[in-house]
A and B are shown apart, each in its own frame.
Chain A
Amino acid sequence: MFEIISGTIAGIKKIGEIKSRKKLSDIIFENFTLFFAVIIIAIVLFIFYEMFNDSFPAREKFGLNFIFSSEWNAVSENFGAFTFIYGTVISSVIALIIALPISIGVAVFLSELAPQIVKTSLSFLIEILAAIPSIIYGFWGIFVLAPFMRTTLQPLIQSVLGFLPVFQGNAIGFGLLTSGIILAIMITPIITAVTRDVLNAIPMSQREAAYALGATRWEAIKMALLNAKSGILGATILGLGRAVGETMAVTMVIGNKANISASLFDPAYSMASVIANEFAEASGELHIASLIYVGLILFAVTLVINSFARLLIYSITRKADVK
């Protein structure tokens, strides 16, 4: 009896051994797929390495002062990125101020209020909004949004809030405010989609508990929003990352003038658009290196922004998975 049992145990052990010994073909396949997966890491590292290398002449000559100098002169070969950083930051912040409330509203509508048919069709339309090429937004911006800003919206704002310095100056249609609005349209889909997913990850029972205590629908939703706040923060930062890196649409409506002024109506320049406009025609090693330096800053900033946003979103959705 004992021998039979011990024999069986030995047999089980042996099966275990066979199972744990991987086949050669499996090892090859795993490493084959791993190779492609590692390519992705290699790409990111290599982008950094290459831009770091290629921007060397500019980094050596201007150092960190590059970030704070607002002179950009291809003739005297004096380059500084402050004007572009300013344009990128201000237009992105405008975009967030406009897009955030709308995106949260849409996400609440999608996850809490809308009937199924509306939900699927609205999600579909917002997906398309995200998929429209940015060149088309820019083109539309030149011929529809900028004239509308010049003739209608900017005079209207000026007549009401004209005493504020940010709304003074000539209404020419191309400038920080217009690019902020275009960016807001472009980042709404991503903020909406992530916020909706985060809201869906908040357990239904919390809302039911609120209803049971006599809360109105909005009060229950407000509680869900408060619980989802770090996820919504992640979505916002993700949207910010998109806005900072967006190139074509901004290039076409920001006015492309290296200029810092208090007015949001004035033309400006952004980091991505100066690269788009000058790179192909840049002459001189220092000019190209400076443009790559701008690109390097842009890359580093979006890398930090995106990593932070992803980690925030992971922490929320992973919690939901566990539940």
Chain B
Amino acid sequence: MKQNYYELVSRNNLLKRKSINVVMLGLCITAGFLAILPLVYIFFYTLMQGASSLNLEFFTEIPKPVGEDGGGMANAIVGTLILVGLGSAFGIPVGIFAGIYVAEYSKSFLANVIKFVTDVLSGVPSIVIGIFAYGLIVIPMQRFSALAGGFALGVLMVPTVTRITEEMLKLVPHSLREAALALGIPRWKTTLRIVLKTASGGIITGILLAIARAAGETAPLLFTSFGNSFWSSSLDGPMASIPVQIFNYAISPYEDWHRKAWAGAFVLIALVFVVSLIVRISTRKKYN
């Protein structure tokens, strides 16, 4: 009698456990679909809204005043290229050499501290970096400038480039370093000419990702490079950029400006998508 009772309980229990199992696993799979739903929605919505304004004029003309047809974002596109170029000039060298230090001299206490600070810096809000660049460059120069915007983007790029360099250098087998050292090559030359060169593919794709992210940053540019409706080539004056232009258009009440903003948004999404795809394909070939 007692024996049967136990069996009944355990069977019921098993049924319960099995159904919990099915429900929970089902929820996990649902979460997977739920997470990519906004991505799919945003991607196709931007494509649909932006496609109608995405023509040659968009890439060759500067913005026209409200009410006039046509016009584009050519100055903002060039501006973003210049700003990202300035940012790269600061962020990439600092990131790569700091990454080399953290990876190659990783036994030192300082390297661990720097690794930690790099992670913390990557979590500092971009608007705070904007205030930093404002205080450092805009206030002394007494005006908004492309230089300040570029510097802010550079600071934002540093943690990404540092981490990617460190991770890629650590993937290079130790035997390669030992072989070079055994041949009497000095350590610095081994690092630069052999280790860095071996890892260069991965580092370059990582840098591409950092550039794509910097190109979409808005908050740090709002009060550094500000914005500009015209062509500007001077680095010490305000300069237009795609994200800030999108922001100004998006919060305006004009239908035509909204369409242009969608086109700009599409350009940014396409940039992110293409770069991510390149990164995926090139890293998979190498490390899998």
Contact in complex: A125, B36 (CB < 8 Å): yes
Q: How far is the CA of A132 from the CA of B269 in the complex (A)?
A: 6
B179 to nearest A CB, angstroms? 16
A41 within 8 A of B: yes
A37 contact from B24, B45, B111, B132, Cβ within 8 A: B111
Q: Is the CB of A126 within 8 A of B35?
A: yes
A247 contacts the other chain (CB 8 A)? yes
Per-residue interface assignment for chain B, residues 16 to 49, with 1 indicating a CB less than 8 Å from any chain A CB and 0 otherwise: 0110110011011111101110110110011000
Contacting pair B45 A140 (CB below 8 A): yes
Bound complex: CA A55 to CA B170 (Å): 42
Residues of B within 8 A of A26 (CB): 186-188
Q: Does the CB pair B125–A125 fall under 8 Å?
A: no
| B105-143 Cβ-contact flags toward A at 8 Å (1 or 0) | 100001101101111110111111111101110000000
Asked if residues B187 and A136 are in contact (CB atoms below 8 Å), the reply is: no
Query: Chain B residues with Cβ under 8 A from A291's Cβ?
Result: 131
User: Which stretch in A103-111, A156-164, A200-208 binds the other chain?
Assistant: A103-111
B-side contacts of A29, CB under 8 Å: 187-188, 191-192
Whole-angstrom distance between the Cβ of B187 and the nearest chain A Cβ: 5
- Residue numbers in A under 8 Å from B246 (CB-CB): 135-136, 139
Query: Does A62 count as interface, using CB distance less than 8 angstroms?
Result: no
Q: For B145, what are the chain A residues with a Cβ–Cβ distance below 8 Å?
A: none
Asked, given contacts A102-B31, A216-B21, whether A136 binds B124 with beta carbons under 8 Å apart, the answer is no
Q: Is B261 an interface residue (CB 8 A)?
A: yes
- B41 x A144 contact (CB < 8 A): yes
Question: Which of A2-10, A77-85, A165-173, A271-279 has 4 or more CB atoms under 8 Å from chain B?
Answer: A271-279
Contact indicator per residue, chain B 203-238, by CB within 8 Å of chain A (1) or not (0): 000000100110111110011001000000000000
With beta carbons under 8 angstroms apart, the residue of A129, A221, A238 that contacts B38 is: A129
A contact residues around B38 at 8 Å (CB): 129, 185
The CA-CA distance from A114 to B119 in the complex, in Å, is: 30
A137–B38 Cα distance when bound, in Å, is 10
Contacts of B129 in A (CB 8 A): 47
- Listed residue (B28, B93, B102, B135) with the most chain A CB atoms within 10 angstroms of its CB: B28
Specify which chain A residues have a CB less than 8 angstroms from the CB of B258 in the assembled complex.
Answer: 143
Q: What is the size category of the interface that chain A forms with chain B?
A: 35 or more
Question: Which of B29, B186, B216 meets A136, CB within 8 Å?
Answer: B216
Q: How far is the CB of B129 from chain A (nearest CB, A)?
A: 7
A314 and B121 alpha carbons, distance in the complex (Å):
16
Verify B42–A136 contact, CB threshold 8 A: yes
Q: Assuming the A-B contacts A122-B36, A247-B219, are A242 and B126 also in contact, with contact meaning beta carbons closer than 8 angstroms in the complex?
A: no
Cβ contact within 8 Å between B45 and A109: no
Distance, CA A189 to CA B94, complexed state (A): 27
What residues make up the interface of A, taking CB atoms closer than 8 Å to B? 23, 25-26, 28-30, 32-41, 43-44, 46-47, 50-51, 53-54, 101-106, 108-110, 112-114, 122, 124-129, 131-140, 142-144, 185, 188-189, 192, 216-219, 221-222, 238, 241-242, 244-248, 252, 272, 275-276, 279-280, 291-292, 295, 298-299, 302-303, 305-307, 309-310, 314
Given A133-B243, A314-B116; 10 other pairs, CB 8 A cutoff: A32-B97, A37-B101, A40-B162, A105-B28, A133-B272, A136-B42, A138-B247, A188-B35, A222-B24, A279-B223
Taking Cβ atoms with an 8 Å cutoff, the residues of B that contact A are: 17-18, 20-21, 24-25, 27-32, 34-36, 38-39, 41-42, 45-46, 93-94, 96-98, 100-102, 104-105, 110-111, 113-114, 116-121, 123-132, 134-136, 144, 155, 158-159, 162, 186-189, 191-192, 209, 212-213, 215-219, 222-223, 226, 243, 246-247, 250-251, 258, 261-262, 265, 268-269, 272-273, 276, 280
Closest 7 CB pairs of A and B: A245-B125, A105-B31, A133-B216, A29-B188, A36-B97, A306-B123, A33-B101
A selection of 24 A-B contacts at a CB cut-off of 8 Å is A25-B188, A33-B104, A39-B158, A40-B162, A43-B155, A129-B35, A129-B39, A131-B209, A135-B218, A140-B45, A188-B35, A252-B250, A275-B127, A279-B131, A280-B144, A280-B222, A292-B135, A295-B128, A298-B128, A299-B128, A302-B125, A306-B120, A306-B124, A307-B116
